[in-house]
Amino acid sequence: MNLVNDLMRKTKKTLTEEGVTSLAKKSVKYIRNGMRSNAPECKDILFINGCYLPHPSRYRVSHQREQLESNGIRTGEVFYEQLTEELEKYYRAFVFFRCPITEEVENFIKRAKYNNKTVFYDIDDLVFDKEYTKTIKYLDTISKKELDTYYDGVKRMGDTLKLCDYATTTTETLSKELKKYVKEVFVNKNVASEKMLELSLEAIEESKKDDNKVVLGYLSGSITHNPDFELIVPPITKIMEKYEFVYLKIVGYLDIPEELKKYQDRIMVEPFKNWTNLPKIISDMDINLAPLEDSLFNRAKSENKWTEAALVKVPTIASNVGAFKIINNNDDGILVSNDDNDWFNKLEELIIDKKNRNRIGFAAFERAKKEYVSTYSGYKYTQFIKSKLSKSVAFVLPTTNISGGVNVVLKHCYLLRKNGYEVSIINMDKNEENVINNDGEINVLSIYKTKMLREFDNLVATLWSTLYYARKYSNAKKVSYLVQNFETNFLNYGNQTKPMANATYSFDNVDYLTISKWCEAWLINDFGRKVKYAPNGIKLEQFPITKRSFEGKIRILIEGNSKDYYKNVDESFKIVEKLDKSKYEIKYLSYQGEPKKWYYVDEFLHKVPYDEVGKIYNSADILIKSSILESFSYPPLEMMATGGISVVAPNEGNIEYLKDNENCLLYEQGNIDDAIDKIESISKNKKLREKLIKGGIETAKSREWKKIEKEILRLYEN
C-alpha cells in the first residue's frame, strides 16, 4: 500500500510541476522499466541443480556461485526439472550439479554444444557409477526396489557426466576417477559462504562452554555414516568410562551403539538441523570427531567437517583418510590412524589439555577464514571456468529484418560458430526470435526483453546507432564496428543525428572492420583509422547456375527498397518505362518498400526469405541495379552466380568486383538511354551474353565463402 501511495504522490507532483507531457514520458519509462524488471537475465554461467539434498546443493551450487560472483562472473541457478531449452540462449556456459539425464537435459546439452557453449559437470561424491557405490554398506540394508531406484539415479548421473566437456569436483580422489569420463577435471574444494562465516563469528561470541565438561561432538549427515562412527566406539567407550566429565553430542542420523547406552545420561542427541543452526551447535562442542572408514568411496569425500568446526574455533580429530589429509597435523587439527589405541591416545591428549585445544582451534580458524570462505577462495576456480569458455562474439543489430547488411552479419555469425566461437545477436528492436536459415540457427536477444549482464569478448556494432549501445555496454572486453557503408550519407541534411552518425568513425577505443575496399579507404584517409578488411563472399549453393535461353520475353529483375533514396529504385523503373513491354517482363524484389503507383511491375516479390532469393534470380535474365550509395552491392554478384547478367550504375560499393564488358555492363548513373542501350545489346548479342555470363560466374566463384573464410575469421581475432 505504501508503494501505491508513493506512486500516486509522484504522479500528482509531476503533473502539477512538469505538466502532462512530462508525465506521459515518465509513465512510458516507468512501464518499460517495470517490464524489464521481470525480464530474463542474460548472464555468464547457469548452474543446473540436480540434487534434492540441501547440504550438497548449498556447497556446490550456492557457494560456488558466490565464488564466481566474487570474481566478476554473473551466475544464475535452476533446478533441473525446471530446465527449459529457451534458457540456453541467456548464458555462456553451464554447470550441471549431480544432474541425472532426462530428455530435456540431453537436448539442452546438445543445443549448448551446437552453440559452442561449454558444459561442466560438478559432483561431490562417487555416485556416478555403480562400481563405486556398491561399496556403500548401507545399501545392503534397503529393499531391492529401493536399490534399483538408487542405481538408476547413479547411472543417469553418469550419463549426464559423459555428455559434458569438463568436470569440477571436491577432492583429488574424485578428480582421478572423473578423468576416466571427461578430458579435464578441476578440484575446487568445498568452502563456506560469507553467511556461514558471519554465523560462525556470532556463535563464537555467544558460546558459553562449561569448564567442568569436555563435549565431544559427532555430526552425522546421513544414516550411511553409521559404519564411520562404529570405528571409534571402543575408544569413545573407554574415554567415557575413564573421564566422567566427558560428554558426547550427536547431531543428525545415527544409531547409538549398545556399548555407549550405559552413558546415556552424558549423551546428547539432536535431530538434523538447518545449516544456519550448525555454527551454534558446533561452537558448544570442545572437540569435533571425524572418523572415516578407509575406502575409495570415503577417500573421495571432502573435509567439510573440519571446515565447519574450524570456523567456530573447535579442533578436529580426524581419520588420516582422503581429504582430511589437508589437516596440518598437530597444528590446525589432529590426524589419527584407524586404530583404537591411536584414537584413544590422541583423543585423551586433547581432552586433558585445554590450552592445546584452544591453540589448534584458533589455528584452524585462521586458516579456514583465509582458504575456505567463498569470497577469498574463488580466483583459481574462476580462472579455470574462464579458460574453458569459447571466445564469445555478439553482433548488435538495429533489427533482424532481412537486408543485405543483415545477411553479411548472419554469414559472419555462422562462420564464427562453425570455427568454435560462441555467437549471439543483440537486437535493438523487440523481436527475440532466433534467426534460422539454411546455415542453421543463431540466438537473438532483444535489449527490450532481456537484462543484459553477461560478458562478451567482442561486442560488434553493425550500424552507427548500435555503436553507441556497444560502447556503453560495461561488460565487453572489446568493442568493434563492422562498417558496411558511409552511413552519414544515409541521413538528410539538417538531421540532428547526422553528426552523431559521422562521429562513430572517430572513436579511438573501437576496432574498425569492413568488407568493402571503398570503406577501408575512407576510414583510413578521412578518419585516420586502423582498419581490418576482409572481402565479402557468396554462398554458391544458394545461387545455382541456370542456363538462360533469352527467347520469348526477356525477364528483367529490379531489386531494392523503394523508400531508400540511395537505392535509387526510381531510376531503374524509369529505364523500364522506355522498354518495349512486349519484349520484356518486369519483376520487382523488395525486402521493405512496396512499388510506387507509377512503377510498371508484372510480378512483385515482397519480403522473400533470403534462403529463397536464389530462385528469384534464377527466374530472371537481366538485373538492373541503380544504387547511388552502397558499400558492397550483393545483387549483381548473386545474379552473376546464377548465370544471369547485370546492368549496373557504378558506385564505390560495387566497382570492387564489377568489370565493365567482362562480367557485367556498366551504365552511366542518370543516363537512362545508356542503360537501355546496354539492355538491348544483351538481348541481341549472343557472344556478348556468353562472355558476360562466363565472366560473372568466374567472379562469383572467386568470392565463395569457403575461399575467404580465413580472412573473415582474422577480423575477429585478438
- pLDDT of 609 reads 87
Give the pairing type, strands 440-446 and 435-437. antiparallel
- pLDDT of 223 reads 58
At 328, list the grid cell.
596440518
The maximal CA–CA distance of the chain, rounded, in angstroms, is: 118
Contact in structure between 467 and 481 (CB atoms under 8 Å): yes
Q: How many CB atoms lie within 10 A of CB 502?
A: 16
- 310 pLDDT exceeds 90? yes
Average pLDDT (538-565) is 94
CATH 3.30.230.10 fits 540-702, yes or no: no
Least confident of 99-103, 131-135, 254-258, 599-603: 131-135
- 37 pLDDT exceeds 90? no
What kind of fold does domain 41-187 have according to CATH? Answer: Rossmann fold (3.40.50)
CA–CA distance, 327 with 320 (Å, rounded to integer): 9
- pLDDT of 20 reads 42
Sketch the domain layout of the chain as residue ranges.
1-38, 41-187, 194-372, 390-533, 540-702
Contact in structure between 127 and 98 (CB atoms under 8 Å): yes
Model confidence at 355, in pLDDT bands (50, 70, 90)?
Answer: very high
Nearest to 202 by CA among 270, 272, 281: 281
Q: 3-state class of 680 per DSSP?
A: helix
Q: H helices within 215-315, ranges in order?
A: 226-230, 233-242, 278-283, 296-299, 304-310
- 30 pLDDT exceeds 70? no
CATH topology match: 194-372 vs 390-533 = yes
CA–CA distance, 71 with 84 (Å, rounded to integer): 27
- 225 pLDDT exceeds 90? no
Tens-place pLDDT, residues 661-702: 999 999 999 999 999 999 999 999 999 999 999 999 999 999
- pLDDT of 222 reads 62
- pLDDT of 652 reads 86
Beta bridge mates, 622: 556, 645
- pLDDT of 4 reads 36
- Of 14-23, 36-45, 464-473, give the range with the top mean pLDDT: 464-473
Residues in the chain: 718
DSSP conformational letter for 250: E
What pTM was estimated for this model as a whole? 0.87
Average pLDDT, the chain: 92
Model confidence at 256, in pLDDT bands (50, 70, 90)?
Answer: confident
- pLDDT of 541 reads 92
The amino acid that residue 665 corresponds to is: L
- pLDDT of 11 reads 46
Please provide the CATH number assigned to the domain covering 390-533.
3.40.50.11090
- 31 pLDDT exceeds 60? no
Tens-place pLDDT, residues 514-545: 999 999 999 999 999 999 999 999 999 999 99
Contact in structure between 609 and 402 (CB atoms under 8 Å): yes
Q: How many CB atoms lie within 10 A of CB 378?
A: 24
Burial group, residue 338, by CB count within 10 angstroms (0-12, 13-18, 19+)? middle
Model confidence at 434, in pLDDT bands (50, 70, 90)?
Answer: very high
Q: 113: Cβ–Cβ under 8 A, 6 or more apart, which residues?
A: 119, 165
Contact in structure between 252 and 221 (CB atoms under 8 Å): yes
Please provide the CATH number assigned to the domain covering 194-372.
3.40.50.2000
- 22 pLDDT exceeds 70? no
- 14 pLDDT exceeds 60? no
Q: 3-state class of 116 per DSSP?
A: coil
